[in-house]
């Protein structure tokens, strides 16, 4: 049996060797790269037909070229270009030139002359356009070289008169990207004529081809983006383009108008056909508003989006956007919103509607009614009822931004936002709820509005309900009836959807603490107390009752008179809830009880904080005491780890840092302990079993380093180096342990080679950080690298061993912000005694609901693991759509996990937990050339390992045998 | 002078029996063929005798186009084809073609069976209903006097055969397909919203075009999108103007109000009755309630009465491309018209306990199922009736809306109404702003208003003229509007000629005209502009040279050669940008113009200059002659 096991061990090792050979092979491949240009030359010479040549070029384009060989390749390509008659091949060469000139570390000024040269003799329009594109790539690569830029602009101007729209497009693009910014600089640049780029581009606003017009506007926008101040005269030109026949022109023109309006908001422009003048930003606002009813939805989206960022607009213009000036039969009519408001203020709310209630009032002067040129009139009313939901979303976003900057507008747009809660597309509803939340500090909800808002609580979509709860958390309610209404609706929501419990409690917590005075008069009713009679004590486990208590206790925090209204059992319930739901129930100053002072106030800066100082000091103590005798070091480490852990528990804001440092120290401790082992002093073959401790330590250190690297957000490169260094040490330890325990030399060869590769990899990745690692393990290792490469495994192991023992303890710099990733599974709760029954062989869907804290990129890293009692474990990848992002650093996973198994005789528990998948190679920077290639995508999706980061939850299931 | 003539036979300063005759470039087209809901005599149908007193109608009309299935737009079709005898092509969209017969059949049944005339049943719209006020107050109408006009049963089935479908143009509005009636006349359909299958039409002959909107809606609703048109710049835009003087409130308030009321009543355990017309708004409200039920997870049943609607719903399910974005995008997962919560109604359900919502016809509570249900439910204050449309005076609907609480029913019964009564207007026409928006999008040269009241049109006309600076017309029925047009004639130009001309100067400026030499060839009815060489080659003609020669007498005593030299130097100095050459044989050339000097045969002191040029150089030649006539400057 033992022999058999051993054999298996060897088998696994042989596998490792095979992998290694592969890696060596790839290494060899790299050596062949410089000869690429020669290969290309031979290929191109061999090509007999243009199709062949094209094939070779395409093949060539698939692989990257290194910076030093670019120039050679370019020369060969150019040489071939001159000889080539087929335009498609020339086109490909031109595009390759552009691609090559983008290579990092290559300065393309040497090929510019050639590029301009071939441009002059080129006849094909397509190739011309491609060449101009290449020039653009060159020009953007050399942003500082004024002379070259001038020359390129000159070339572009020359080709602007080309008959092909493609060439003109590219010329304009070139002008937009390279057109000089300051005129003064241009004079010394080789005496080239000073060109007014803006004027040249502006002339092409009236080109006959819409594509060129679009390109001209885009070029102008590009100029703006590069920091050139556009002339105000462009405004009138751009306004003309708003009535262009083509949507892409109009869409770009809207952007241009927006840009100009931001540049010259206060300029005065005349209103055509009248003597009045208005501010430019107002005029532009009116024009963009008009585009909200354009015939193309692309333009409508664009216009709606831009409206949101025009904050300097005068308020009466802004308010017009919500007013459509209703009329009926030429008589002025009030909107439903106005009527609702009036009803509310007159006090007869919710009277039934009467016939003719909306009958129009006063006559409208026919001359004064302006049906179309009324500027901003009703723009948002139109945008919000657009057919395309893209437009509606854009309009809601714009409303949000404008309302955030103008409280009076926020008040006005409230009715419209509330109406959007009834949109047919969920996304729009959700967006408008979020918008409302963002502007909620500017507004107070009227009762009738609150009513509409609360009606949405019955929505069957969980996202909508939760968004609404968050909205209610931060809304201001004006009356006590409003609070009562909200509470009633929330309780109704609770009975209908019991899963919303936590969210509702949280919502009530904030609702209570925001409106203590409004809650006060409601208390007797809510607690159903009676002045004379004792009422029955409510059930303490009823979520609805807890909800009411959460509201009241939070209100009581700032309202000292409230506890007087409580009955005895309320106090008892308070004590219970304060313990069980401490995050929802605040500490109250109750008569006859002393207030337990809460923890330190959170507004102390972390550096002034004594606990932070303590952390710093204890860490410094460890780092300074590295040369003490091993026994003392070990003890100190143990104490510090204990201190840090306790500190993390006490101070939640320091938990991340404390845990992080403690983990690092624990690794160090393990390493020291492993090296202290007695086995090192004994001849290898005798102490097989004892080596367990050392190899276990190595394994554990590896695990811990992975945790450090991937489980904490905010880890910077400095820390990653140290972590990798620690991992390298662990690997060395592992190698040594294996060397001592394993028999035979063959497996060792492979391991050594692999280890040396790791060292090489480390050096390549962190070459910049090596100076910081003075005197460390890796520093010494790299010094001895040439010797290690040539020596035998046994020797390597020996060297490693001594080095590990001599190596010093690296100081781990603490990052600014560090948080440990954590996850809590809310659902399933694991309390149920009723097994989930399903027929074996079929699947059952299990709803999983979890909150994730401080997880970066959860879509690709978070997995769900299900372990069955037979040891079988499944890893499930949740869909990206299952993750929601309710706040910074927080994520929510709501997904379904499918369980299946063969029939069991008894119900049994399966464990569900969340894993964090990682892949250490994802940190390696990639070259731009390969980007989007097939290889890289493979690397990214692969998972190297996983770290469990949530408590596992047990789910009781029972697969029944299928009935025949 | 080419012109476009438009004569409304119906719907001119009026709502109902839409029927407009258009003559454009020699083609006669009839737009819509509707009936008037307000009349039961001859005025019910348009006066087709206007088109021709004698002779077949088919010979006079090139085609008939139907914009949508409402009876005031297609109701006279059976009469028109069966009684008047038109058998030419009729164009309409596919949904219209499918749903139209159902409505006509329904109408025929009512007219023939002497039942209570519920002719207003299919009409969606308040304005059209105004005219029903002319009906006797009892709510019943006698059988029309001339039964000869009412068509007999089999006649409604004709509709399925002769009409030609216009391809669905709504899926991708940018690519409205064209439909060719004959070689010259083409029709293009645009999406119009309003009801399923409603379309606006562009009728185009050569470069002249007319756009007819039918009824349209510029704001989208729950099941239909908004009307859309491109910048087609027609010579004339004929638009409806039902809501010429109204700007409507946001539809969202209305929807929210409606849902809130229904929801509250249902939660209270009450029953909601919604009397509707069978088609159009009924589907809109169904979708509204259906999605709300879905969202709020409500359980109360929703019922829909009458078989007619089932048939119509079937078509709604089929014509998904004609609906709005949301329905189009989600129908793969679920067809919105396959209602989950809306079920067919049975008489017995009215008595069952618990909350429910019932859609029942007719819409004005004057007869039929809706009235029956109303009588059952009126006594309970928990219940509610919601009127989604206008009610004619004299109907139960009108009475309860005006606040009457005690109703006298047949048999001297008095019905006390305790249930709540609500009014809510859902209409699918463009309002004044929408009309202006459409005019702005299409950029027509002229606008013509139909399908509205004269007084309101007046206002809109004034606004259109003022804001777009185009002329606007509003003819009454039978009145003809004539618009002169100046059609442009397209001429093909050969690429060679164009390139040659381009090479001579810079790029043409799109704003400025430019002179071009070429030969115009008119062959069959197409025009081509080609270079003269090519024209000669094509026509098989030899080129003739036409030269002008002119003698100029100069007083010069010197020798001929010297004169020639003087002429040469003179011309050289004057014509700087032309090529002036002195040839060895003593003659001078300016471009292709030849000048030779010879001594006068009689007077040796006078030299004769022979100037010769081809007709192409006429301009330069005559300039040279006049220059030479002035004499040479005295040599210094």
Three-state SS letters, B67-126: CCCCHHHHCCHHHHHHHHCCCCCEEEEHHHHHHHHHHHHHHHHHHHCCCCCCHHHHCCCH
Q: What is the pLDDT of residue B509?
A: 59
Contact assignment for B456 to A293 by CB distance below 8 Å:
no
Integer Rg of chain B from CA: 37
Report pLDDT digits (tens) over B330-339.
877 778 788 8
State the pLDDT confidence band at B145, using cuts at 50, 70 and 90.
very low
Residues of A in contact with B467 (CB under 8 A): 370-373
What order of strands is seen across the sheet that includes strand B3-10? B163-166, B90-93, B63-65, B27-31, B19-24, B3-10, B481-484
Highest mean pLDDT among A480-489, A680-689, B222-231, B297-306: A480-489
Q: What is the pLDDT of residue A441?
A: 78
CA distance A731 to A739: 12
Q: What is the mean pLDDT of chain B?
A: 78
Average pLDDT over residues A375-381: 75
Residue B506 clears pLDDT 70, i.e. is over it: no
Min mean pLDDT across A305-319, A677-691, B345-359 is at: A677-691
Residues of B in contact with A425 (CB under 8 A): 326
Average pLDDT over residues B169-197: 70
For residue B154, give the DSSP letter. Answer: G
Residues of B in contact with A325 (CB under 8 A): 247
Percent of chain A having pLDDT more than 70?
A: 81
Long-range contacts of B342-349 (CB under 8 A, 24+ apart): B342/B286, B342/B289, B342/B290, B342/B302, B342/B303, B342/B304, B343/B301, B343/B302, B343/B303, B343/B304, B344/B303, B344/B304, B344/B305, B344/B310, B345/B303, B345/B304, B345/B305, B345/B306, B345/B369, B346/B303, B347/B372, B349/B301, B349/B303
SS3 A779: helix
Q: Do domains A44-275 and A821-924+942-960 have the same CATH topology?
A: no
CATH number for the domain formed by residue range(s) B547-630: 3.30.310
Contact assignment for B245 to A336 by CB distance below 8 Å:
no
Q: Beta strands of B417-458 (E only): which ranges?
A: 420-423, 446-450
- A274 burial level (CB within 10 Å; 0-12, 13-18, 19+): exposed
Contact assignment for B254 to A336 by CB distance below 8 Å:
yes
CATH number for the domain formed by residue range(s) B3-112+159-246+429-476: 3.60.15.10
Q: Which of B433, B470, B506, B509 to mutate to test the interface with A (most CBs of A within 10 A)?
A: B433
Q: Which of residues 178-237 of B touch A (CB under 8 A)?
A: 219-220, 222, 225-226, 228-231
Min mean pLDDT across A187-196, B203-212, B238-247 is at: A187-196
Residue at token pair 């120039």: A71
The ipTM of this complex is 0.74
Residue at token pair 């910048």: B231
Give me A757's structure tokens: 């590769």
Closest Cα in chain A to B221? A387
State the pLDDT confidence band at A186, using cuts at 50, 70 and 90.
very low
CA distance B624 to A928: 70
Helix-helix angle B251-268:A407-420, to 10 degrees: 60
Min mean pLDDT across A21-30, A654-663, B479-488 is at: A21-30
Closest Cα in chain B to A497? B297
Residue at token pair 């006797």: B136
Q: Measure B321 CA to nearest chain A CA, in Å.
A: 14
State the pLDDT confidence band at A304, using cuts at 50, 70 and 90.
very high
Q: Is the Cα dihedral B349, B350, B353, B358 positive or negative?
A: positive
Residue A256 clears pLDDT 90, i.e. is over it: yes
A333 touches chain B (CB under 8 A): yes
CATH number for the domain formed by residue range(s) A44-275: 1.25.10.10
SS3 A603: coil
For residue A768, give the DSSP letter. Answer: G
| Residue in B401, B437, B467 closest to A293 by CB | B437
Closest Cα in chain A to B127? A329
Beta carbons within 8 Å of A365's beta carbon, 6+ residues apart: none
- A502 burial level (CB within 10 Å; 0-12, 13-18, 19+): middle
Judge whether B501 counts as a catalytic residue.
no
Give me B323's structure tokens: 């609906």
A458 touches chain B (CB under 8 A): yes
Contact assignment for B462 to A388 by CB distance below 8 Å:
no
Q: What is the pLDDT of residue A325?
A: 67
State the pLDDT confidence band at B21, using cuts at 50, 70 and 90.
very high
Residue A514 clears pLDDT 90, i.e. is over it: no
Q: What is the pLDDT of residue A254?
A: 93
Please say whether the beta carbons of A179 and A228 come within 8 A: yes
CA distance A645 to A643: 5
Please say whether the beta carbons of B264 and B483 come within 8 A: no
Beta carbons within 8 Å of B77's beta carbon, 6+ residues apart: B33, B66, B90, B100, B104, B159
Q: What is the pLDDT of residue A625?
A: 64
Min mean pLDDT across A251-260, B3-12, B279-288 is at: B279-288
CA distance A821 to A815: 15
Reported as type and span, the H/E element at residue A72 is: helix A67-83
Give me A482's structure tokens: 């409003």
Q: Which of residues 500-519 of B touch A (CB under 8 A)?
A: 502, 506-507, 510-511
Bigger pLDDT: B561 or A34? Answer: B561
Q: Which of residues 191-220 of A touch B (CB under 8 A)?
A: 206, 208
Bigger pLDDT: B592 or A242? Answer: A242
CA distance B70 to B124: 8
What architecture is the A821-924+942-960 domain classified under in CATH?
Sandwich (2.60)
Residues of B in contact with A419 (CB under 8 A): 250, 252-253, 256
Q: Measure B455 CA to nearest chain A CA, in Å.
A: 10
Instruction: Give the residue extent of every domain in chain A.
Output: 44-275, 276-324+372-442, 444-589, 612-679+690-806, 821-924+942-960
What architecture is the B251-423 domain classified under in CATH?
3-Layer(aba) Sandwich (3.40)
Q: What is the pLDDT of residue A363?
A: 59
Q: What is the pLDDT of residue A601?
A: 44
Report pLDDT digits (tens) over B584-616.
887 888 877 888 888 777 777 778 888 888 887
Question: Could you give phi then psi for residue B528, rounded to 5 degrees?
Answer: -135, 145
Residues of A in contact with B291 (CB under 8 A): 424
Residue A192 clears pLDDT 50, i.e. is over it: no
DSSP line for A568-601 = HHHHHHHHHHHHHTTTTS-----TTSPPPPPS--
Q: What is the mean pLDDT of chain A?
A: 78
Q: Which of A294, A415, A422 to mutate to test the interface with B (most CBs of B within 10 A)?
A: A422
Percent of chain A having pLDDT more than 90?
A: 6
A336 touches chain B (CB under 8 A): yes
B433 touches chain A (CB under 8 A): yes
CA distance A293 to A295: 6
B533 touches chain A (CB under 8 A): no
Please say whether the beta carbons of B280 and B124 come within 8 A: yes
Instruction: Give the residue extent of every domain in chain B.
Output: 3-112+159-246+429-476, 251-423, 491-506+515-539, 547-630
Q: What is the pLDDT of residue B113?
A: 44
Q: What is the pLDDT of residue B139?
A: 25
Percent of chain B having pLDDT more than 90?
A: 10
Reported as type and span, the H/E element at residue A269 is: strand A268-270
Look at residues B101, B107, B37 and name the one whose alpha carbon lies nearest to residue B69: B101
- A921 burial level (CB within 10 Å; 0-12, 13-18, 19+): exposed
Q: Measure B441 CA to nearest chain A CA, in Å.
A: 7
Report pLDDT digits (tens) over A847-896.
888 888 888 888 888 889 999 888 888 888 888 888 887 777 788 888 88
Report pLDDT digits (tens) over A624-653.
765 656 677 788 888 888 888 888 877 777
Q: Which of B193, B252, B395, B467 to mutate to test the interface with A (most CBs of A within 10 A)?
A: B252
Bigger pLDDT: B527 or B110? Answer: B527
State the pLDDT confidence band at A391, using cuts at 50, 70 and 90.
very high
What order of strands is seen across the sheet that includes strand B199-205? B178-180, B185-191, B199-205, B208-212, B236-240, B446-450, B471-473
Q: Which of A171, A324, A417, A424 to mutate to test the interface with B (most CBs of B within 10 A)?
A: A424
Average pLDDT over residues A701-717: 83
Beta carbons within 8 Å of A546's beta carbon, 6+ residues apart: A505, A540, A577, A581
Sequence length of chain A is: 964
For residue B199, give the DSSP letter. Answer: E
Contact assignment for A387 to B226 by CB distance below 8 Å:
yes
B402 touches chain A (CB under 8 A): yes
Distance from the Cα of residue A186 to its chain's centroid: 43
| Residue in A325, A387, A419 closest to B250 by CB | A419
Average pLDDT over residues A759-781: 76
Contact assignment for B256 to A459 by CB distance below 8 Å:
no
A73 touches chain B (CB under 8 A): no
Closest Cα in chain A to B327? A424
Q: Which of residues 357-396 of A touch B (CB under 8 A)?
A: 357, 366, 369-373, 378, 381, 384-389
CA distance A160 to A820: 58
Q: What is the pLDDT of residue A629?
A: 63
A342 touches chain B (CB under 8 A): no
Question: Could you give phi then psi for residue A241, rounded to 5 degrees?
Answer: -70, -15
**Could you tell me the fold of the domain covering A276-324+372-442?**
1.25.10
Catalytically annotated residue among B118, B208, B240, B422: B240
Q: Which of residues 305-324 of B touch A (CB under 8 A)?
A: 324
């Amino acid at each position: 049996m033992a022999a058999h096991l051993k054999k298996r061990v060897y088998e696994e090792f042989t596998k490792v060797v095979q992998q290694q050979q592969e890696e060596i092979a790839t290494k060899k491949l790299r050596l062949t790269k410089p000869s690429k240009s020669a290969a290309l030359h031979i290929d191109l010479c061999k090509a007999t037909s243009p199709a062949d040549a094209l094939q070779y070029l395409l093949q060539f384009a698939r692989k990257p070229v290194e910076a030093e060989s670019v120039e050679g390749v370019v020369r060969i390509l150019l040489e071939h270009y001159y000889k080539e008659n087929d335009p498609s091949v020339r086109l490909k060469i031109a595009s390759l030139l552009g691609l090559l000139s983008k290579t990092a570390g290559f300065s393309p000024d040497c090929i510019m002359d050639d590029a301009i040269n071939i441009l002059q003799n080129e006849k094909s329009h397509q190739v011309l356009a491609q060449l101009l594109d290449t020039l653009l790539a060159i020009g953007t690569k050399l942003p500082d070289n004024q002379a070259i830029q001038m020359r390129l602009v000159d070339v572009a101007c020359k080709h602007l008169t080309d008959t092909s729209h493609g060439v003109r497009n590219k010329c304009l693009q070139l002008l937009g990207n390279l057109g000089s910014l300051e005129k003064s600089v241009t004079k010394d640049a080789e005496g080239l004529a000073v060109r007014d780029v803006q004027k040249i581009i502006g002339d092409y606003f009236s080109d006959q081809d819409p594509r060129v017009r679009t390109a001209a506007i885009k070029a102008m926008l590009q100029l703006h983006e590069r920091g050139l101040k556009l002339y105000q005269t462009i405004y009138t030109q751009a306004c003309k383009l708003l009535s262009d026949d083509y949507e892409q022109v109009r869409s770009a023109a809207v952007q241009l108008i927006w840009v100009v309006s931001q540049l010259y908001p206060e300029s005065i422009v005349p209103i055509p056909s009248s003597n009045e003048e208005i501010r430019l930003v107002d005029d532009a606002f009116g024009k963009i508003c008009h585009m909200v009813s354009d015939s193309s939805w692309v333009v409508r989206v664009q216009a709606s989006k831009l409206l949101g960022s025009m904050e300097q607009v005068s308020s009466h213009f802004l308010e017009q956007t919500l007013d459509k000036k209703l009329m009926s039969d030429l008589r002025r009519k009030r909107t439903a919103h106005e009527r609702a408001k009036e009803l509310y203020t007159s006090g007869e709310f919710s009277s039934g509607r009467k016939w003719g209630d909306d009958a129009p009032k006063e006559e409208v002067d026919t001359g004064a009614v302006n049906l179309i040129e009324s500027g901003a009139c009703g723009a948002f009313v139109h945008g919000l009822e657009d057919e395309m939901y893209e437009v509606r979303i854009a309009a809601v976003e714009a409303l949000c931004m404008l309302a955030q900057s103008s409280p009076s507008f926020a008040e006005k747009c409230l009715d419209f936002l509330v109406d959007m809660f009834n949109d047919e597309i969920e996304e729009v509803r959700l967006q408008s709820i979020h918008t409302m939340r963002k502007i909620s500090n500017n507004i107070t909800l009227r009762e009738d509005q609150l009513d509409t808002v609360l009606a949405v609580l019955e929505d069957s979509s969980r996202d909508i309900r939760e968004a609404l709860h968050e909205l209610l958390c931060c809304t201001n309610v004006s009356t006590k009836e409003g609070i009562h209404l909200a509470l009633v609706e929330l309780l109704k929501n609770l009975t209908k959807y019991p899963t919303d419990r936590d969210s509702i409690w949280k919502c009530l917590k904030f609702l209570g603490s925001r409106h203590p005075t409004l809650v006060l008069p409601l208390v007797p009713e809510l607690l159903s107390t009676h002045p004379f009679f004792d009422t029955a004590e409510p059930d303490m486990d009823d979520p609805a009752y807890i909800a009411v208590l959460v509201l009241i206790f939070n209100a009581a925090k700032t309202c000292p008179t409230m506890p007087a209204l409580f009955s005895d059992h309320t106090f008892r319930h308070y004590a219970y809830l304060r313990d069980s739901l401490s995050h929802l129930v605040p500490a109250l100053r109750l008569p006859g009880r002393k207030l337990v002072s809460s923890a330190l106030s959170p507004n102390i800066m972390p550096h002034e904080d004594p606990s932070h100082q303590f952390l710093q000091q204890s860490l410094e103590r460890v780092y300074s005491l590295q040369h003490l005798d091993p026994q003392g070091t070990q003890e100190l480490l143990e104490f510090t780890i204990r201190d840090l852990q306790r500190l993390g528990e006490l101070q939640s804001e320091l938990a991340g840092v404390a845990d992080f440092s403690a983990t690092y120290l624990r690794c160090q401790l393990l390493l020291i302990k492993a090296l202290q082992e007695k086995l090192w002093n004994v001849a290898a073959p005798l102490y097989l079993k004892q080596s367990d401790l050392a190899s276990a330590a190595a394994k554990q250190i590896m695990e811990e380093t992975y945790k450090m690297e991937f489980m904490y957000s905010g880890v910077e490169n400095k820390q990653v180096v140290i972590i990798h260094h620690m991992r390298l040490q662990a690997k060395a330890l592992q190698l040594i342990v294996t060397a001592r325990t394993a028999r035979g030399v063959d497996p060792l060869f492979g391991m050594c080679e692999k280890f040396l590769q790791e060292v090489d990899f480390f050096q390549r990745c962190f070459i910049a950080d090596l100076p910081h690692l003075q005197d460390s393990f890796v520093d010494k290792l790299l010094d001895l690298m040439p010797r290690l490469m040539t020596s035998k495994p046994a020797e390597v192991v020996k060297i490693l061993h001594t080095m590990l023992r001599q190596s010093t303890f690296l100081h781990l710099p603490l990052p600014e912000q560090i948080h440990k990733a954590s996850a809590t599974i809310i659902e399933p709760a694991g309390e149920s005694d009723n097994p989930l029954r399903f027929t074996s062989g079929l699947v059952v869907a299990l709803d999983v609901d979890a909150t994730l804290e401080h997880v970066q990129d959860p879509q690709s890293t978070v997995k769900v693991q299900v372990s069955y009692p037979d040891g079988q474990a499944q890893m499930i990848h949740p869909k990206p759509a299952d993750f929601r992002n309710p706040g910074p650093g927080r994520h929510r996973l709501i997904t379904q996990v499918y369980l299946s198994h063969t029939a069991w005789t008894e119900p049994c528990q399966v464990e569900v937990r969340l894993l964090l998948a990682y892949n250490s190679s994802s940190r390696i920077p990639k070259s731009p050339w390969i980007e989007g290639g097939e290889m890289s995508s493979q690397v990214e999706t692969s998972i190297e390992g996983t770290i469990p980061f949530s408590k596992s939850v047990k789910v009781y299931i029972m697969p029944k045998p299928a009935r025949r | 002078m080419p012109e476009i003539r438009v004569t409304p036979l119906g719907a001119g300063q009026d709502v109902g029996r839409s029927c407009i005759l258009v003559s454009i470039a020699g083609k006669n087209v009839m737009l819509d063929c509707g009936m008037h809901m307000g009349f039961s005599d001859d005025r019910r149908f348009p006066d087709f005798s206007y088109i021709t007193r004698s002779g077949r109608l088919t010979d006079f009309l090139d085609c008939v186009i139907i914009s949508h299935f409402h009876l005031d737009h297609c109701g006279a079709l059976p009469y028109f084809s069966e009684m008047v005898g038109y058998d030419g092509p009729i164009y309409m969209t596919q949904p219209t073609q499918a749903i139209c017969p159902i409505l006509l059949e329904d109408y025929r049944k009512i007219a023939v069976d002497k039942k209570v005339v519920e002719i207003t049943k299919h009409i969606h719209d308040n304005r059209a209903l105004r005219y029903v006020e002319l009906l006797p107050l009892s709510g019943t109408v006698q059988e029309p006097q001339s039964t000869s006009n009412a068509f007999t049963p089999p006649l409604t089935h004709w509709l399925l055969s002769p009409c030609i479908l216009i391809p669905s143009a709504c899926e991708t509005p940018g690519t409205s397909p064209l439909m060719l009636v004959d070689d010259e006349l083409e029709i293009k359909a645009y999406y119009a919203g309003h009801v399923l299958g409603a379309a606006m039409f562009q009728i185009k002959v050569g470069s002249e075009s007319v756009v007819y909107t039918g009824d349209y809606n510029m704001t989208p609703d729950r099941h239909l999108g908004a009307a859309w048109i491109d910048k087609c710049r027609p010579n004339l835009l004929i638009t409806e103007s039902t809501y010429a003087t109204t700007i409507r409130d946001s539809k969202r308030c209305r929807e929210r109000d409606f849902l809130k009321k229904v929801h509250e009543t249902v939660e209270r355990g009450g029953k909601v009755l919604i009397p509707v017309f069978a088609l159009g708004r009924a589907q809109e409200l169904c979708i509204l309630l259906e999605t709300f039920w879905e969202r709020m997870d409500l359980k109360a049943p929703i019922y829909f009465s009458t078989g007619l609607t089932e048939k119509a719903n079937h078509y709604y399910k089929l014509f998904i491309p004609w609906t709005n974005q949301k329905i189009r995008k989600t129908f793969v997962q679920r067809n919105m018209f396959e209602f989950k919560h809306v079920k067919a109604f049975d008489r017995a359900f009215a008595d069952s306990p618990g909350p429910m919502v019932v859609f029942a016809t007719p819409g004005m509570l004057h007869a039929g199922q809706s009235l029956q249900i109303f009588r059952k439910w009126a006594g309970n204050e928990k219940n509610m009736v919601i009127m989604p449309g206008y009610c004619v005076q004299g109907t139960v609907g009108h009475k309860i809306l005006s606040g009457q609480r005690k109703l006298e029913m047949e048999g001297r019964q008095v019905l006390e109404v305790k249930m709540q009564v609500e009014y809510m207007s859902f209409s699918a026409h463009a309002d004044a702003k929408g009309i202006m928006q459409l005019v702005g999008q299409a950029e027509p040269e002229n606008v013509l208003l139909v399908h509205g009241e004269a007084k309101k049109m007046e206002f809109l006309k004034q606004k259109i003229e003022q804001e777009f600076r185009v002329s606007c017309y509003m003819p009454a029925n039978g009145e003809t509007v004539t618009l002169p047009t100046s059609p442009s004639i397209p001429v093909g130009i050969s690429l060679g000629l164009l390139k040659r001309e381009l090479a001579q100067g810079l790029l043409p400026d799109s704003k400025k005209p430019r002179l071009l030499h070429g030969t115009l060839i008119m062959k069959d009815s197409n025009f081509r502009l080609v270079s003269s060489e090519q024209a000669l080659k094509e026509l098989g003609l030899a080129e003739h040279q036409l030269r002008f020669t002119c003698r100029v007498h100069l007083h010069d005593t010197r020798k001929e050669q010297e004169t020639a030299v003087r002429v040469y130097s003179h011309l050289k100095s004057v014509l700087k940008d032309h090529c002036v050459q002195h040839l060895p044989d003593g003659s001078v050339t300016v471009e292709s113009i030849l000048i030779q000097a010879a001594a006068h045969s009689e007077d040796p002191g006078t030299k004769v200059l022979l100037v010769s040029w081809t007709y192409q150089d006429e301009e330069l030649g005559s300039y040279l002659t006049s220059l030479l006539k002035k004499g040479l400057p005295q040599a210094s």
